[in-house]
């Protein structure tokens, strides 16, 4: 179910969970390394992704954590039914 539909389902005003989600772009993780891919190939794949990103780099966990914490903050109660794209501008291409 989409964030917009979920937030429109008439939940009590005090309940905020699940009203906005970050949509990450390519984010560096250990997944490719633990999948058994050679380190050299993993480095090449990361570089290819960085080269096609408008900011010229791969997202890091801290890039996402900032927005996740912001959306979870009680001061963000006015944000609802949204998907926040956090991809370094990749969606613009």
pLDDT, tens digit, for every residue of 2-33? 555 555 555 555 455 556 677 888 888 888 77
Res. 51: pLDDT tops 80 = yes
Domain ranges of the chain: 18-88
**SS3 state of residue 25:** coil
Pairwise pLDDT comparison (58 vs 21), residue with the higher score: 58
Res. 80: pLDDT tops 70 = yes
**Mean pLDDT, range 49-77, rounded to an integer:** 89
For residues 3 and 50, give the distance between their C-alpha atoms in angstroms, rounded to a whole number.
29
For residues 64 and 72, give the distance between their C-alpha atoms in angstroms, rounded to a whole number.
12
């Amino acid at each position: 179910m989409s964030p917009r539909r979920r937030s429109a389902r008439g939940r009590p005003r005090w309940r905020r969970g699940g009203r906005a989600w970050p949509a990450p772009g390519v984010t560096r993780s250990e997944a490719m390394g633990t999948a058994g891919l050679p380190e050299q190939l993993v480095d090449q794949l990361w570089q290819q992704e960085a080269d096609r990103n408008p900011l010229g780099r791969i997202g890091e966990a801290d890039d996402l954590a900032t927005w996740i914490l912001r959306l979870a903050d009680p001061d963000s109660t006015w944000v609802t039914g949204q998907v926040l794209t956090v991809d370094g501008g990749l969606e613009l291409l």
